[in-house]
Amino acid sequence: MIKEGKAPVGVLGNQVQDMTYQAAKKYMEQIQKRGSVYGLQPVLNLLAQLDNPQNRLKVIHVAGTNGKGSICTFLEYLYRAEGKRVGRYISPTLHGYLERFQIDGEYMGENRFAALLEEVIPVMEVMERSGEQLPTAFEIETAIAFLFFLRENVDIVVLETGMGGRNDATNVVDKPLGTVFASIGMDHMQLLGDTIEEIAYEKAGIIRQGCPVISYPNSMEIIEILRREKGGDKDLYVVDKSDVQILSETLEQSTFVYRGEKYTISMAGEYQIYNAVTAIETKLKLDGKLDKSGLQKACWAGRFEKVCDHPVVIRDGAHNVDAAKALRESIQKHFTNQKLIFIIGVLKDKEYDKMMAVLCPLADRVYTITPEGQRGLPAAILRESILPYCKQVTACSSVKKAMSAAKQDCQQYEQLGKASAIIAWGSLSYIGQI
């Protein structure tokens, strides 16, 4: 609850009485235009005035470059299988703005978001009046998420970092139940550093003394950085691939044995097996209980996900080099000797040339699109980066046109008696349209 004496003042207080969702979104868009400053003090100041809701919740904090959303999903379903009420804070989103605030898979309602923002705005006004640096849009959303989960009395919050860790807006919980690390690789170098060691150091900033740390089977140099941040091996657990025996993999499910126990998951891709094991290890280390049924029910949109059978359409949010390599492995495993049509849209601040070099030699045809927003790389520029690897490349004005053309290609291949598949990959900002 907001501390007393914080009345709305200044220009930011316009239209806060009985705020509608449309007014709330407009307010957040105005905040977004202010840009962002990398650091925690503004969000800490905001949360302090809201009586620190983040420290009255049971939180599992998850960081990493690739796979953190999948690990969060496995954890969510493991707890839900026990009847627990689980809050999730997600970014980026596929289907809409309010997807980022979830309880048991249900999105926050529009009126609820407007009401919670209406509580936060008076604090923003006081901060503005006192000359303090104002929180960014993501920091405000993070504070709203904590308020939402606290008011809804969730049993557990699975909290996903937005970018990095050390200076990420989510890194404000004094003592999480545990901190979990997904696969760490090269991404967001403009903010996190130019080497894997620098990036791992930033991710490791979510570690808290006295809280267990669980990691995906990352490289030894990354584990060493986690160990240094942790202050030793006590309560540091790293998944060992040698403990995993993969029994079968299809587009529908994978079955594996981990430390003598058999598990089945419904997410495709070998890397998802290790994401699942990371979640299993986390759950066992935190409370020693595990309901396997939760793993098989877990689903996570846009991660090597089959969305259509005829023609086969796969969508995957591979948006950095490591993710592109993982997608290549999955494609080669599941689509041997098939004609592949790619639909690709990426952001201009990504290493898209390297990503195209990894994946586009597999493609028979490629359709490029421009993701929405200022960061979207124009389809024509992306086309030029693909031509060295695939000669049949067309820049399209929309996802709909790209999909229509790709389907026609599949029909032509079918008439020739050749199997084919459409693989739509790249930025999550457009994948939701597939």
Token duo for residue 155: 């049993």
By the 8 A CB rule, do 297 and 379 touch? no
The predicted-structure confidence for 138-190, as pLDDT tens digits, reads as follows: 999 999 999 999 999 999 999 999 888 899 999 999 999 999 999 998 654 45
Q: Which CATH number fits domain 305-431: 1.25.40.10, 1.10.1240.10, 3.40.50.410, 3.90.190.20?
A: 3.90.190.20
Q: For residue 268, give the nearest of 423, 163, 160 by alpha carbon.
A: 423
Q: What's the confidence (pLDDT) of residue 347?
A: 92
Token duo for residue 234: 């006590």
Average pLDDT over residues 298-316: 91
* Secondary element (H or E) of residue 21: helix 21-32
Phi, psi of 159 (to 5 degrees): -110, 120
Return the beta strands (E) in 280-432 as ranges. 305-309, 312-316, 339-345, 365-368, 393-395, 420-426
Domains 11-297 and 305-431 share a fold: no
Q: How far apart are CA 51 and CA 269, in angstroms?
A: 42
Q: What's the confidence (pLDDT) of residue 3?
A: 32
The structure's pTM equals 0.86
Q: What's the confidence (pLDDT) of residue 14?
A: 38
Confidence of residue 387 (pLDDT cuts 50, 70, 90): very high
pLDDT above 50 (res 251): yes
In the chain, where are the structural domains located?
11-297, 305-431
Q: Which of 7-21, 88-102, 110-124, 130-144 has the lowest mean pLDDT?
A: 7-21
pLDDT above 80 (res 119): yes
Q: How far apart are CA 230 and CA 220, in angstroms?
A: 15
How many CB atoms lie under 10 A from the CB of residue 364? Answer: 16
Confidence of residue 13 (pLDDT cuts 50, 70, 90): very low
Percent of the chain with pLDDT over 70: 93
Confidence of residue 300 (pLDDT cuts 50, 70, 90): confident
Average pLDDT over residues 332-341: 95
Q: How far apart are CA 168 and CA 118, in angstroms?
A: 24
pLDDT above 80 (res 278): yes
Q: Where does 11-297 sit in CATH, by number? A: 3.40.1190.10
Q: What's the confidence (pLDDT) of residue 10?
A: 29
- Provide the mean pLDDT of the chain: 90
- Give the residue with greater pLDDT, 2 vs 96: 96
DSSP-based three-state secondary structure for 262: strand
Looking at 153-310, list the stretches that DSSP marks H as alpha helix, in order from N- to C-terminal side. Answer: 189-192, 196-203, 220-230, 270-287, 293-297
Confidence of residue 329 (pLDDT cuts 50, 70, 90): very high
Radius of gyration of the chain (CA): 22
Token duo for residue 99: 């997807």
Annotate 136-157 with DSSP letters as a single string: PHHHHHHHHHHHHHHHTT-SEE
Q: How far apart are CA 33 and CA 37, in angstroms?
A: 12
Q: What's the confidence (pLDDT) of residue 434?
A: 87
Q: How far apart are CA 326 and CA 409, in angstroms?
A: 25
By the 8 A CB rule, do 143 and 50 touch? yes
By the 8 A CB rule, do 126 and 9 touch? yes
Average pLDDT over residues 280-284: 97
Q: What's the confidence (pLDDT) of residue 186?
A: 65
Q: What's the confidence (pLDDT) of residue 15?
A: 39
Token duo for residue 43: 């969000």
Average pLDDT over residues 269-282: 95
Q: How far apart are CA 147 and CA 97, in angstroms?
A: 17
Q: For residue 204, give the nearest of 107, 101, 61, 63 by alpha carbon.
A: 63
Q: What's the confidence (pLDDT) of residue 164?
A: 81
Burial code (b: 16+ CB inside 10 Å, e: under 16) for 120-131 equals bbbbbbbbbeee
The predicted-structure confidence for 93-106, as pLDDT tens digits, reads as follows: 888 899 999 999 99
The predicted-structure confidence for 52-84, as pLDDT tens digits, reads as follows: 999 999 999 999 988 899 999 999 999 999 999
Average pLDDT over residues 364-387: 95
By the 8 A CB rule, do 65 and 162 touch? no
The predicted-structure confidence for 18-57, as pLDDT tens digits, reads as follows: 789 999 999 999 998 876 676 899 999 999 999 999 999 9
Q: What's the confidence (pLDDT) of residue 18?
A: 73
DSSP-based three-state secondary structure for 77: helix
Q: What's the confidence (pLDDT) of residue 36?
A: 67
